[in-house]
């Protein structure tokens, strides 16, 4: 008899295969020799710990390179951060302290990791809370290395559906993607790093699926719907056949979308809309081009700065910006200057505690105050502009004076570079209501606008989209938000400058008709969303877009 279960949709896609149950023992295997109850020599134990940590770091760095080629560098950066974590001095100090109190080595590693993870679990910031799972993953790998090695996730069948209590990010990275069709876990969630890696690798995943370990036995047929978060264990013949038909239809739809790649995004009534990609790394440009992107509408530079103990220098930034500019040439690449503060923090740049960081020292405010951050980035951007069409985007602008200060700084740096600097266009993000309300004045200072709907919605409606109690209020189709977008577009077009939308709303099929109706020139979104958005834009009629803003 079939068993239908509901979990959390963590990575999209449909898969039908056979269950392989996995109870990972990483960090929970038998103690390695000398790690029993009797305390050993702390110095010898620490030497063994450092050797195991070096081994784990090397493994993770190797995995990082493999995943970068398969899933892109944003997903691979998770493993890079874990590699650094393996030799974290604070972790090592806590392990040594426990050893000197008589704790056996493998247990000391686990206890030190759990103590560090518990501190992160207690923080409000969701990004930092996610690091707790990474700490447990890394210290589990170190403990497993001490015990003789980590067990690899199984893939016993050509169509394996891996079922586990939870799955750490490093285990996802080690999956045999040729044999593992889907992942189902009893715990975990859609925002975990394991989920992000599964998405990058194209493996459908359902997490938080309570009861799956009890319902499934080894070798059972399992149908996984990563879009809806549902799992069907031992489907009846009719259920299995119906699911196979869904898989076939999905494959046909994907092939149909792929055929749109080189066609323009022009509505049924003749209006052209540019579709661009949001990227975090130059290595993702290939996926953007394969999806049919006409440029990069948002390149997030903060990913160069995250998850590392130091700040990237000018040369490292230049190499990344040049790579994306060359990969996309002659298409435009909009590169946003460093946008930290609020919900984004840098390990290498401790920021003062603020009562309300979303209304504090963030975005362009911080960047203009810290020329040690701004100048190397500007130099790298202007040098990269000789290798493609580079546009510079300023985040969190609220006042004309900020744009003027930024342009003066850029021009000063440009004068110093001389012929090494390429041409550029300067744009501003419209993320706060003040920018939309003063769009006519700001349009006189910029060459383009880019509307960041995530923050614009949040600030307009005073609703944090990450807070489940008020998330329902965070609606980009709220009349107040649409009116601010309308004001922005009208002011920009009066000055002859284009307007893009680069927030989540740009790829949302519910919102796209309204954005087209309001005259937005460009929609920028994750590469995977471009084909469906192009199909939708090409099907829009004049009646469709008029209906989307009726009553505004």
Q: Which helix (H) or strand (E) element contains residue 276?
A: strand 274-279
Residue 472 β-bridge partners: none
What are the distances in angstroms from CA 540 to CA 258, 268, 434, 501, 544?
19, 6, 32, 18, 6
* d(C-alpha 133, C-alpha 305), whole Å: 21
Query: What tokens appear for 42 in the block?
Result: 């702390």
Q: How far apart are CA 235 and CA 226, in angstroms?
A: 16
Residue ranges for the binding site?
300, 336, 431, 454-455, 465
Annotated binding-site members for phosphoenolpyruvate: 300, 336, 454-455, 465
List the end-to-end C-alpha distance of the chain, in Å, as a whole number: 52
Of 209, 387, 391, 502, the catalytic one is 502
Extract the annotated binding site for Mg(2+): 431, 455
209 an active-site residue? no
3-state helix, strand, coil in the chain (%, to 5): 50, 15, 35
Q: Answer for the pair 338, 301: CB distance below 8 angstroms, yes or no.
A: yes
Q: Find out whether 270 and 309 touch, Cβ atoms under 8 Å.
A: no
Separation of alpha carbons 336 and 394, rounded Å? 6
Starting at the earlier edge strand, list the strands of the sheet with 205-207.
3-6, 230-233, 221-225, 14-21, 160-164, 180-185, 205-207, 8-11
Single out the catalytic residue among 28, 193, 209, 478: 193
Encoding tokens for residue 415?
């004068």
For tokens 């806590």, what's the residue? 94
Write the CA distances from 166 to 19, 32, 192, 223, integer angstroms: 15, 24, 11, 19
DSSP 403-458: HHHHHHHHHHHHHHHGGGPPP-EEEEEE-SHHHHHTHHHHHTT-SEEEE-HHHHHH
Q: Note if 55 is an active site residue.
A: no
**DSSP class of residue 514?**
H
Question: Catalytic residues, which ones?
Answer: 193, 502
């Amino acid at each position: 008899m079939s068993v239908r279960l509901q979990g959390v949709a963590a990575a999209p896609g449909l898969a039908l295969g056979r269950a392989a149950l996995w109870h990972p023992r990483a960090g929970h295997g038998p103690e390695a020799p000398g790690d029993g109850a009797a305390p050993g020599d702390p110095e010898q134990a620490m030497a063994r710990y450092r050797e195991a940590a070096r081994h784990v770091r090397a493994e993770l760095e190797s995995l990082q390179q493999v995943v970068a080629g398969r899933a892109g560098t944003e997903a691979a950066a998770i493993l890079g951060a874990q590699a650094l974590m393996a030799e974290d001095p604070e972790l090592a100090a806590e392990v040594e302290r426990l050893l000197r109190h008589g704790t056996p080595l493998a247990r000391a590693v686990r206890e030190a990791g759990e103590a560090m993870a518990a501190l992160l679990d207690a923080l409000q910031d969701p990004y930092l809370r996610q690091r707790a799972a990474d700490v447990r993953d890394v210290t589990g790998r170190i403990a497993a290395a001490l015990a003789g090695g980590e067990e690899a996730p199984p893939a016993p069948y050509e169509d394996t559906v891996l079922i586990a209590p939870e799955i750490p990010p490093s285990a996802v990275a080690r999956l045999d993607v040729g044999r593992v069709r889907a992942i189902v876990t009893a715990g975990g969630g859609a925002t975990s790093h394991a989920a992000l890696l599964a998405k990058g690798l194209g493996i459908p995943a359902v997490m938080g699926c309570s009861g799956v370990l009890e319902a499934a036995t080894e070798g059972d047929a399992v149908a996984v719907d990563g879009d809806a978060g549902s799992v069907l264990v031992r489907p009846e013949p009719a259920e299995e056949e119906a699911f196979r038909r869904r898989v076939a239809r999905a494959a046909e739809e994907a092939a149909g979308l792929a055929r749109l790649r080189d066609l323009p995004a022009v509505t049924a009534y003749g209006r052209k809309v540019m579709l661009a990609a949001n990227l975090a790394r130059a290595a993702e440009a290939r996926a953007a081009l394969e999806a049919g992107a006409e440029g990069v509408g948002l390149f997030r530079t903060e990913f160069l700065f995250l998850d590392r103990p130091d700040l990237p220098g000018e040369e490292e930034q230049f190499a990344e910006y040049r790579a994306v500019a060359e990969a996309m040439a002659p298409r435009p690449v909009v590169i946003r200057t460093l946008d930290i503060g609020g919900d984004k923090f840098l390990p290498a740049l401790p920021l003062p505690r603020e009562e309300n960081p979303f209304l504090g020292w963030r975005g362009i405010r911080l960047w203009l105050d810290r020329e040690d951050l701004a100048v190397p980035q500007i130099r790298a951007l202007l040098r990269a502009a000789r290798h493609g069409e580079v546009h510079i985007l300023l985040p969190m602008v609220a006042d004309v004076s900020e744009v003027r200060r930024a342009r003066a700084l850029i021009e000063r740096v440009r004068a110093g570079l001389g012929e090494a600097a390429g041409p550029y266009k300067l744009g501003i993000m419209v993320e706060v209501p003040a920018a939309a309300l003063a769009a006519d004045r700001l349009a006189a200072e910029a060459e383009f606008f880019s509307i960041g709907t995530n923050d614009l919605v949040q600030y307009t409606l005073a609703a944090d989209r990450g807070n489940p109690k008020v998330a329902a209020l965070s609606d980009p189709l709220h009349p107040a938000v649409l009116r601010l977008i309308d004001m922005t577009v009208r002011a920009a077009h009066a000055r002859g400058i284009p307007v893009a939308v680069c927030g989540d709303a740009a790829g949302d099929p519910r919102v796209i008709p309204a954005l087209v109706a309001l005259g937005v020139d460009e929609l920028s979104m994750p590469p995977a969303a471009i084909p469906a958005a192009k199909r939708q834009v090409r099907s829009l009629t004049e009646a469709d877009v008029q209906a989307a803003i009726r009553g505004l």
